[in-house]
Amino acid sequence: MAASIAIRLIFFILLFGCVFAFEDDFHEELLVKPMKNGQVYTSFQFTTTWNVSVEDEKSFEHYHLFSKSLGEVLSHYSVQELHLSLTQGLWHYEKWGYPVHDAPPGAELWVWFRPGTENIDQTWTDLINVLSGMFCASLNFLDHRSVVTPHLAFRPTGVTPSHHQRLFAKNIRYATLPNENVCTENMTPWKKLLPCGARAGLTSLLNAYKVYDTSYHSLGVHFRPICMSDDCSVHGVELVQSLAAVFDPTLTSRSQDWSLKKLFARTMSSSCPVASSSIAMVDLSSNFSSPFTLDPLPSREEIALRGRIKVRYAVYEIRDFARNQRVFNLAAKYKSEMSFSANEPPVVHAQRFQTGYGQAKGGVMSLLYNHHPKENIIVNYLEVIPWFCRVYLHTLKIESFDKTVHDISANGTIRKPMHFHYVPGKDRQRPYHLELLLDLPPNSVTRLSFEFDRALLKWTEYPPDANHGFYIGSAVISTVVRTAKHINDTSESFFLRLHTETLLITLPTPDFSMPYNVICLACTVVAIAFGSIHNLTTRQLIGGISCGENAVLV
Amino acid sequence: DFFDSGHTNNWAVLVDTSRFWFNYRHVANVLSMYRSVKRLGIPDSHIIMMLADDMACNPRNPRPASVYNNANQQINVYGDDVEVDYRGYEVTVENFIRVMTGRLPESTPRSKRLLSDDRSNILVYMTGHGGDGFLKFQDAEEISNVEMGDAFEQMWQKRRYHEVLYIIDTCQAESMFQTFYSPNIIGIASSKVGEDSLSHHVDPAIGVYIIDRYTYFALEFLESVTPDSKKTLGQFLRVCPKYQCRSTVAVRTDLFQRDPEKVLLTDFFGSVRNVEITMETLSLGNETTNPQMSNQVCRSVNMSDCF
């Protein structure tokens, strides 16, 4: 008996030893940024860190806070880094500045596979199928017809593996699905990955009826390996789940005032008990142009340096409110009813549109703005064009203009790209992949354009709504800038990624009822013409003899 | 009696085959069924839902992230924890047949598979635009009633179901199950051959018809069903008489072995696990010390079956 107790004790010690060996943390964060035009940008960020190494496959066996369903997938498909976003609406850089996590309209997925992963293309195919089931999105359409291996546009955001650096550079896959819808069905599985689900903490604010009633909303899942110690001798992994939405409180009431209750129609009465930190922050930078007061008063104020720009934040420790059994409803009251001012545009932004007319030819034109008064900015421009738009590379033209010149139809200074990477597309097999490294002069607009031919699809390749048109995914602009109103970066210069508009093009679409019409018409002609001619030519017409009432025509 | 119906698990395959905003009602139909089966206990992992278009977050929807069964916004059938397995362009005849017969590519995730067995009761609900002998998918292709019948036969041969309740809400819906020849299928159609199925009413805020008659009344009936209710399939077969539906609800019961009047509705719409309460005290001592007790509990059954 004593022996069995001793064994049990040892077992429990071992069990607790295992439990306590977990070093994982969960942080939840809400950033509210009132913008000068009256809109309110809210960005949720849920971060789980865990002290396991992606290189050690056995480490993904015992789970605590990290989502098991996702962890198993990442480990099974040798994922080094994964970034998925599901977005609806377009981020307006000129009006809103830069978001915390940039995302194009629709779905975007880019994955770094671990070095030594065999047959990456097959692994990607299996992974997108699993992710499509996991997030209720049609990610399985991100197949070889839309996937590319970017050359410079995407770098790992986390720790890179210590060996096989050269081979590792080819282990990335990138694809977008510009026409993917995002709705509650995507948020449901996204919430399930969180340790507190939708029950407590900041997630309890996420009311689908309000979040999806906004002009821009974006869901994101970002997984990367990170350093857990200062000298980076201990590696860990980080899972960031983000949700952003841009609300417009002025649409429903004649005042700029906003509160969490007004935006989400919910308040928060508890914090997630397993969260190490649970904070809400309000960006006070628009407080100068349109002053507002916050209720309740913040726990503290923090000043963050963004390059040379100071940003003030009001910080709320949500657990203090939850501990005192108080409902947390952050509210801002404006001094004047409506005081809007225009935002100055950020340093770099871009616009893209299609050119040309008719159903045979088309083109793409992008305008890349550099608003910096003195400095050149080097940007990488990535364009992935579906195979059915056959790009003519010789039509690629890059010109730059002084920003003060409004007529950009004129000829500007011809620019040559500093670096050039082009993989031509193949029909039904791979997209056109163009990457350019461009040097944007200060205070300038750079115009980039090329032309393409629209392909005629096979009739089974047309989607059911072919007349709606076909999408070309966003172009991706990556750059390093010195100053910008970014949120999560305090270094002197930092990396920036922007996405342009998606394009909706029409392909020559046949009238699908045409074969039916032809069959009907042909049958009618045969029935009438052939039938009557056959009748006339084969029947013998003899005049009948009238026999009283029974006149017969044979 | 435990499971006298003979099934141990429940599945639901709910298919909307129509795209475009003017077919809002078909999405609402499927979501009505989804709401009912989920409420009655079938988990999302056992529901395969196919929606050919996104109505809830469609820019034309004045009430984002919700689909109502009624212009008075009685029931939000979309809910706030919905999961859709096949959506948009994924809703094709091929995918539907593959899901039913289990012939999916290897990398297909579990949530997109019908992992049923010979003890599964499956509810199959389809809605869309149809005609005599076919149902259109996304206005681009169609499934014929012969293909449908063969798919069920394949399922039967592969022991993928125990019983099937097949409900279809479309024009001339009866024609879809006239060609079925596999056992244990009961079919309900919203209209007879030669009849159109009609929609219920318009929501002026949405601008189109928002639900079909048969499903509207079926949902109304299902709302009164609880997991422990004793409502029978026979009662459900009488839902939507001609004065409500304006079409004749057709039923096919000849393939079904049991009497629908004695089949609980929750055998198909719910996932009810029976619990039998015994008033006798059972001693869980060693069987060597009390062999008679064990014998009492397991009459005429092998000892090994008791454990």
What was the ipTM of the complex prediction?
Answer: 0.85
Query: Longest C-alpha distance within chain A, in Å?
Result: 126
CA B85 to chain A, closest CA, distance in angstroms equals: 6
CA nearest to B170, candidates B16, B14, B2: B16
Contact A88 B57 (CB under 8 A): yes
Domain end position, chosen among A334, A369, A397: A334
Contacts of A89 in chain B (CB under 8 A): none
pTM of the complete model: 0.87
Q: Where are the domains of chain B?
A: 13-269
Q: Residue B109: which of A130, A181, A213 has the nearest Cβ?
A: A130
Q: Mark whether A310 and A372 lie in a shared domain.
A: no
pLDDT in tens, chain A (554 residues): 444 555 554 444 444 444 445 688 999 999 999 988 889 999 999 999 998 888 777 778 888 899 999 999 999 999 999 999 999 999 999 888 889 899 999 999 999 999 888 899 999 999 999 999 999 999 999 999 999 999 988 988 888 877 777 778 889 999 999 999 999 999 999 999 999 888 888 999 999 999 999 999 999 999 999 988 888 888 899 999 999 999 998 888 888 899 999 999 988 878 888 999 999 999 988 887 778 889 888 888 888 766 567 788 999 988 888 787 778 888 999 887 777 777 778 889 999 999 998 889 999 999 999 988 888 899 999 999 999 999 999 999 999 988 776 666 677 888 899 999 999 999 999 999 999 999 999 989 999 999 999 999 988 889 998 889 999 999 999 998 875 444 445 556 778 899 999 999 999 888 888 888 899 999 998 889 888 888 888 988 777 665 555 544 44
Question: Could you tell me if A202 and A44 are in contact, meaning their C-beta atoms sit under 8 angstroms apart?
Answer: yes
Query: Which chain A residues have any C-beta within 8 angstroms of a chain B C-beta?
Result: 88, 125-126, 129-130, 132-134, 136-138, 140-141, 180-185, 188-189, 207-209, 211-213, 462-465, 512
Contact B65 A125 (CB under 8 A): no
Where is B100: in which H helix or E strand? Answer: helix B93-101
Q: Enumerate the H helices of A420-525 as residue ranges.
A: 514-525
How many folded domains does chain A comprise? Answer: 2
Contacts of A181 in chain B (CB under 8 A): 54, 57-58, 87-88
d(CA A222, CA A240): 5
Query: Packing angle between helix B93-101 and helix B145-157, nearest 10 degrees?
Result: 20
Q: Mark whether A177 and A303 lie in a shared domain.
A: yes
Q: Minimal Cα distance from B140: which residue of A?
A: A464
Contact A133 B64 (CB under 8 A): no
Structural domain contains residue A540: no
CA B152 to chain A, closest CA, distance in angstroms equals: 25
d(CA B52, CA B16): 6
Contact A132 B83 (CB under 8 A): no
| Contact residues for B48 (Cβ-Cβ < 8 A; gap 6+) | B11, B12, B13, B14, B85, B86, B99, B112, B113, B114
Q: Mark whether A314 and A408 lie in a shared domain.
A: no
Q: Mark whether A384 and A276 lie in a shared domain.
A: no
Contact B109 A132 (CB under 8 A): yes
Q: Minimal Cα distance from A180: which residue of B?
A: B88
Q: Enumerate the H helices of A149-230 as residue ranges.
A: 165-168, 184-192, 208-211
d(CA A437, CA A379): 6
Contact B65 A209 (CB under 8 A): yes
CA A400 to chain B, closest CA, distance in angstroms equals: 37
Q: Mark whether A323 and A356 lie in a shared domain.
A: no
What is the SS3 assignment for B36?
helix
What is the SS3 assignment for B236?
helix
Which of the residues of B are catalytic?
129, 171
At residue A391, what is the residue type?
V
Structural domain contains residue A470: yes
Contact A464 B89 (CB under 8 A): yes
CA A212 to chain B, closest CA, distance in angstroms equals: 6
Q: Minimal Cα distance from B112: which residue of A?
A: A133
d(CA A40, CA A259): 10
Note down the domain range covering A189. Answer: 25-334
Strands A377-385, A432-440: pairing kind: antiparallel
Contact B90 A211 (CB under 8 A): no
Q: Residue A184: which of B63, B82, B109 has the nearest Cβ?
A: B82
DSSP 3-state helix, strand, coil percentages of chain B (rounded to 5)?
30, 20, 50
Report whether the peptide linkage leading into residue A296 is cis, meaning its omega lies within 30 degrees of zero: yes
Q: Minimal Cα distance from B90: which residue of A?
A: A138
CA nearest to B112, candidates B83, B150, B149: B83
Q: Minimal Cα distance from B81: which residue of A?
A: A188
How many Cβ atoms from other residues are within 10 Å of residue A151's Cβ? 20
Give the tokens for residue A490: 């305090």
Domain end position, chosen among A294, A312, A334: A334
Q: How far from B196 is each of A520, B192, B214, CA to CA, in Å? A: 24, 8, 11
Size of interface A-B (CB pairs under 8 A): 87
Could you please state the CATH topology (level 3) that the domain comprising B13-269 is classified under: Rossmann fold (3.40.50)
